[in-house]
A and B are shown apart, each in its own frame.
Chain A
């Protein structure tokens, strides 16, 4: 009930956001003409004027936004070159990549997903046990704190560069960049190319999440129900994993779901350093190159993913924690 209401709210918000971002991208300094000229410097002013008319760049912003949404159905938007409209499921045409936006986005998205999903899953598998052990054993805690502190202190792009320098350039264990080799594009080759970027992403995720788990488990260990469990005669392992960790995982739901949009947005830094052409890099390039239809779609997919993740976090949390169901 609440969730469906929020979905409607998200729809409205997306609509507002799409208008805002459309306006913003169009007032952005630097003209499309310059981009066209940069691609082909030998164009005459007349040819540029023709391109402007063909792409509808001489129309007003409101007109273009309307036709972007509704497509070239009626007479009003017959000039629109971007296809049959976003509202009708046609995402349009990329003027830089010279292909339809949907397959382009899909290809880039699969690259991002292949990087982010394993990184997040593995981080979770490392962060939860690490945090739990750190909460229960002071010696583990000291080591874990030092390591995660190191992870939190080093900026992500530096970690990425250092990983390339150490493991690719100096030691030569892993390739420095690319999604696959030129001559081999099999599954294992992809995994081999993903090791370094996934490891760099894991440093970021694990440092944050394991500290969070550690604090939550520590708090849970101080609760009366843990004392009860101990009084019942359960051994320390059962108390930790069966009672404390189980309860500490609820707040982790929020933290993890909040990171989920990264599955769609990617990490532009990691994608850039390792030359993985994912969604993050696509957004960066398309705004830079004034490939507006692409930028708009990526922008909105990301915004939608973030808002759905927030709603999902609230709902899951409510579902996991019975105390919250009745209140608010």
Chain B
């Protein structure tokens, strides 16, 4: 592992632990203090306060929980679905493969924004309560439009593996397609899928931010990095830290994830080691 990748993994660990543990040690993220709005950094509020006098650090960490959880769950769903479908299509070929590729092309051709709007209006509150409904909705929207890259990569890898000696050997020994797929092709394609999942994570953190920025994310007063960014937009003149800080948190997380993904793909693909 290179130093870059180690640093990236460390940064990611610190951000995650801070988001998970931090909110217990800090003032409540939703407590309003009208006498202390737009405060700069102080001992009581290390990152100052926002337009309603809420502690910015606490909100960043609680918001980080939402942003990271959404990205993580969406990446998990997109990886499992995209990976399975992609590997199966690449190995089996034929009609299933053609159907998948046409679907992927169609999904890329469809303008996502209006569909986001439509899906954002779907009321998940019927099945989940309160904040959980918002998280589930974001995960569904992001995963539904984020599985195609993984599927494409997994398909290409499965097509390549289909020619591999051990796969041919298993086929000649009379193994069923399901067996070959599950025991020989999927494990071989796993490294590609893991790299794709890491890069998906980075992209989905951005998705969450953009969706919340357009007002399709978690509902106030619940924070998320994208929602805080959107809130900060109004106060660029009076309190620039309100939009700078969530952006920095998002950017650092994405940078760490991209570095990690690059490092992983270099490590798993010997051809790219220079």
Which residues of chain A (131-173) have a CB below 8 Å from chain B? 149, 152-158, 161-162, 164-165, 169
**How extensive is the interface on chain A, given as a class?**
35 or more
Answer whether A306 and B109 are a contact pair too, CB < 8 Å, given A153-B254, A155-B210: yes
Q: When the two chains form their complex, are residues B247 and A165 in contact, meaning their CB atoms are under 8 A apart? A: no
Given A155-B254, A269-B213, 10 further pairs, Cβ under 8 A: A25-B118, A28-B118, A29-B122, A153-B255, A155-B247, A169-B236, A269-B210, A287-B114, A288-B117, A303-B111
Q: Which residue of B lies closest to A302 (CB)?
A: B111
Give the residue of A29, A158, A268, A299 whose beta carbon is less than 8 angstroms from that of B121.
Answer: A29
A210: min CB distance to chain B, Å: 15
B89: min CB distance to chain A, Å: 17
**How extensive is the interface on chain B, given as a class?**
20 to 34
Answer whether A164 and B236 are a contact pair too, CB < 8 Å, given A155-B206, A284-B214: yes
Q: When the two chains form their complex, are residues A283 and B110 in contact, meaning their CB atoms are under 8 A apart? A: no
Answer whether A169 and B210 are a contact pair too, CB < 8 Å, given A24-B118, A288-B117, A303-B110: no
The B interface is mostly helix, strand or loop, or mixed, namely: helix
User: What's the Cα separation between A169 and B240 when bound, in Å?
Assistant: 10
Proximity bits, A45-87, B CB within 8 Å = 1, else 0: 0000000000000000000000000000000000000000000
Q: Which residue of B lies closest to A308 (CB)?
A: B109
A31: min CB distance to chain B, Å: 11
Which residues of chain A (266-297) have a CB below 8 Å from chain B? 268-269, 272-273, 280, 283-284, 287-288, 295
Which residues of chain B are near A299, meaning CB under 8 Å?
111, 114
Q: When the two chains form their complex, are residues B111 and A283 in contact, meaning their CB atoms are under 8 A apart? A: yes
Answer whether A17 and B110 are a contact pair too, CB < 8 Å, given A153-B258, A158-B247: yes
User: What's the Cα separation between A33 and B239 when bound, in Å?
Assistant: 40
User: What's the Cα separation between A268 and B116 when bound, in Å?
Assistant: 13
Which residues of chain B (218-245) have a CB below 8 Å from chain A? 229, 232-233, 236-237, 240, 243-244
User: What's the Cα separation between A295 and B111 when bound, in Å?
Assistant: 11
Q: Which residue of B lies closest to A165 (CB)?
A: B236
A143: min CB distance to chain B, Å: 16
Q: When the two chains form their complex, are residues A283 and B254 in contact, meaning their CB atoms are under 8 A apart? A: no
Answer whether A303 and B109 are a contact pair too, CB < 8 Å, given A29-B123, A30-B121, A283-B114: yes
Interface: B251 (CB within 8 A): yes
Interface: B250 (CB within 8 A): yes
Which residues of chain B are near A268, meaning CB under 8 Å?
113, 214
The A interface is mostly helix, strand or loop, or mixed, namely: helix
Interface pairs (21), CB distance under 8 Å: A17-B110, A21-B114, A25-B114, A25-B118, A28-B117, A30-B121, A152-B254, A153-B251, A155-B254, A157-B209, A157-B213, A161-B232, A161-B236, A269-B213, A283-B113, A284-B113, A284-B117, A287-B113, A298-B111, A299-B114, A307-B109
Give the residue of B123, B240, B243, B255 whose beta carbon is less than 8 angstroms from that of A149.
Answer: B255
Interface: A265 (CB within 8 A): yes
A272: min CB distance to chain B, Å: 8
User: What's the Cα separation between A303 and B258 when bound, in Å?
Assistant: 30
Interface: A310 (CB within 8 A): yes
Q: When the two chains form their complex, are residues A158 and B108 in contact, meaning their CB atoms are under 8 A apart? A: no
User: What's the Cα separation between A189 and B232 when bound, in Å?
Assistant: 29
Interface: A13 (CB within 8 A): yes
Interface centre among A149, A158, A295 (most CB of B within 10 A): A158
Which residues of chain A are near B123, meaning CB under 8 Å?
29
Which residues of chain B are near A287, meaning CB under 8 Å?
113-114, 117-118
Which residues of chain A are near B232, meaning CB under 8 Å?
161
Interface: B169 (CB within 8 A): no
Interface centre among A13, A154, A157, A303 (most CB of B within 10 A): A157
Answer whether A162 and B113 are a contact pair too, CB < 8 Å, given A28-B121, A149-B258: no
Give the residue of A21, A28, A272, A306 whose beta carbon is less than 8 angstroms from that of B108.
Answer: A306
Which residues of chain A are near B44, meaning CB under 8 Å?
none
A287: min CB distance to chain B, Å: 4
User: What's the Cα separation between A154 and B247 when bound, in Å?
Assistant: 8
Interface: B171 (CB within 8 A): no
Q: When the two chains form their complex, are residues B122 and A310 in contact, meaning their CB atoms are under 8 A apart? A: no
Which residues of chain B are near A24, meaning CB under 8 Å?
115, 118
Give the residue of A13, A165, A310 whose beta carbon is less than 8 angstroms from that of B243.
Answer: A165
